[in-house]
A and B are shown apart, each in its own frame.
Chain A
Amino acid sequence: MNHCVTHLLAQASFWLEPAASTSAQEHDRVFYFVLYVTGFFFALVVALMLTFVILYRRRKGGERTSGPTHNTPLELLWTGIPLGVVIIIFVMGLNAYLSFESPPSDALLIDVEAKQWAFTFTYPNGATSEKLYLEIERPVLLQLHSADVTHALYIPAFRVQRNAVPGRTTEMWFKPVELGSYHVFCTQYCGDGHSVMTTEAVVLDATAYSAKLNELANIFVDAATKQPLPMAEVGARVAKSSGCFQCHSVDGSPGQGPTWKGLYKHDHRFSLAPPGYVLTTGDDDAKWEAYLRESILEPGAKIVQGYQNVMPPYAAQFSGTPYKDKKLTAIVEYIKSLGNPGSPPR
Chain B
Amino acid sequence: MTTITSQDNYLTYTRGLRSWLFTLDHKRIGVMYLVSVLAAFLLGGVLAMLIRLQLLQPEGLLFRGTDSSVFRTYNELFTLHGAVMIFLVLIPGIPGALGNFVLPLMLGAKDVAFPRLNLASYYLYLLGAALALAAIFLGSVDTGWTFYTPYSTQTPGAVVWLVFGAFILGFSSIFTGINFIVTVHKLRPKGMTWFRVPLFLWGLYATAVIQILATPVLGITLLLLILERMFQLGIFNSYYGGDPILFQHFFWFYSHPAVYIMILPAMGIMSEVIATFARREIFGYKFVAMSSLAIAIIGFLVWGHHMFPNGQSGPMNVIFSGLTMLVAIPSAIKVWNWLATMYKGSIALRTPMCYALCFLFLFPIGGLTGLFLASLTTNFHVHDTYFVVAHFHYVMIGGTLFMFIGGIHYWWPKITGRMYHEGFAAFCCLLQFIGFNLTFFPQFIMGTHGMPRRYASYMPEFQIYHVLSSIGAFLQMTALVLVALGLAYSLWRGRRAPANPWGGSTLEWECSSPPPHDNFESTPKVGRPYDHSHIIWNPAVGGYVRKG
Contact = CB atoms under 8 A, between A and B. Distances in A.
B342 A53 contact: yes
Contacts of B376: 93-94, 96-97, 100
Contact of B458 (A15, A68, A189, A195): A195
A101 B454 CA distance: 28
Interface string B326-351: 10110011011101101111111100
Contacts of A4: 459, 461
B238 A57 contact: no
Interface of A: 4-5, 8-9, 12, 14-17, 26-27, 30-31, 34-35, 38, 41-42, 45-46, 48-49, 52-53, 56-59, 62-71, 74-75, 78-79, 82-83, 86-87, 89-90, 92-97, 100-101, 117, 148-150, 152, 154, 156-157, 159-163, 165-168, 170, 183, 185-196, 198
A97 B377 contact: yes
14 contacts: A30-B377, A31-B381, A38-B368, A48-B339, A49-B361, A52-B345, A67-B344, A78-B333, A92-B375, A94-B318, A150-B310, A166-B238, A166-B244, A195-B456
A191 B151 contact: yes
B494 interface: no
Interface in B114-139: none
A67 B345 contact: yes
Interface of B: 68-69, 71-72, 75, 142, 144, 148, 150-151, 154-155, 237-239, 243-245, 278-287, 309-311, 314, 317-318, 321-322, 325-326, 328-329, 332-333, 335-337, 339-340, 342-349, 357, 360-361, 364-365, 368-369, 371-372, 374-381, 383-385, 445, 448-450, 452-461, 503, 532-533, 536-537
Contacts of B335: 45
B151 A149 contact: yes
A192 B67 CA distance: 9
Given A45-B361, A94-B321, A162-B311, 5 more contacts: A52-B343, A163-B311, A165-B311, A192-B68, A194-B71
A323 B342 CA distance: 76
A42 B377 contact: no
Contacts of A67: 280, 283, 343-345
B395 to A, nearest CB: 14
A162 B310 CA distance: 6
B357 A53 contact: yes
A295 B337 CA distance: 72
A235 B281 CA distance: 79
Nearest to B241: A167
A191 B76 CA distance: 10
B97 to A, nearest CB: 27
A90 B375 contact: yes
A27 B377 contact: yes
B542 to A, nearest CB: 15
Contact of B380 (A49, A159, A198): A159
B364 A45 contact: yes
Contacts of A198: 459
Given A161-B384, A191-B151, A31 B378 contact: yes
A8 B464 CA distance: 14
Contacts of B325: 86-87, 89-90
B385 to A, nearest CB: 7
A58 B347 contact: yes
A186 B506 CA distance: 52
Contacts of B142: 191-192
Given A93-B321, A149-B150, A163-B310, A75 B287 contact: yes
Contacts of B151: 149-150, 189-191
Contacts of B364: 41-42, 45-46
A187 B385 contact: yes
A15 B446 CA distance: 9
Given A38-B371, A150-B151, A161 B344 contact: no
Contacts of B536: 63
Given A4-B459, A52-B342, A163-B309, A82 B280 contact: no
A78 B378 CA distance: 25
Contacts of A152: 309-310, 384
Given A16-B448, A92-B375, A183-B459, A58 B384 contact: no
Contact of A58 (B282, B332, B348): B348
A197 B59 CA distance: 14
Nearest to A101: B314
Contacts of A95: 377
B339 A5 contact: no
Contact of B342 (A30, A56, A100, A193): A56
Contacts of B452: 154, 185-187, 195
B239 A189 contact: no
Given A53-B342, A58-B348, A38 B155 contact: no
Given A46-B361, A63-B346, A93-B376, A183 B450 contact: yes
Nearest to A97: B376
Given A90-B325, A92-B375, A167 B244 contact: yes
Nearest to B79: A189
- Kindly name the residue among A42, A152, A167 whose own CB sees the greatest number of chain B CB atoms within 10 A: A167
B285 A69 contact: yes
Nearest to A39: B368
Nearest to A15: B448
A92 B450 contact: no
B105 to A, nearest CB: 24
B332 A154 contact: no
Nearest to A184: B450
B341 to A, nearest CB: 8
Nearest to A29: B377
A31 B449 CA distance: 13
B349 A86 contact: no
A27 B285 contact: no
B406 to A, nearest CB: 15
Nearest to A59: B346
B292 to A, nearest CB: 15
Contacts of A192: 68-69, 71-72, 75, 142
A207 B379 CA distance: 35
A196 B239 CA distance: 25
Given A117-B68, A165-B310, A183-B450, A9 B333 contact: no
B334 to A, nearest CB: 11
Given A42-B368, A49-B357, A83 B239 contact: no
A196 B68 contact: yes
Given A57-B347, A188-B384, A195-B71, A167 B239 contact: yes
B68 to A, nearest CB: 3
- Kindly name the residue among A8, A78, A195 whose own CB sees the greatest number of chain B CB atoms within 10 A: A195
Nearest to B462: A8
Shortest beta-carbon contacts, A-B, top 7: A167-B238, A156-B450, A67-B344, A93-B375, A193-B68, A97-B376, A195-B455
A208 B183 CA distance: 73
A69 B343 CA distance: 10
B455 A156 contact: no
Given A86-B371, A159-B380, A150 B244 contact: yes
Given A49-B357, A65-B278, A89 B371 contact: yes
Contacts of B537: 63
Given A161-B384, A194-B455, A63 B279 contact: yes
A59 B345 CA distance: 11
Contacts of B385: 154, 156, 187
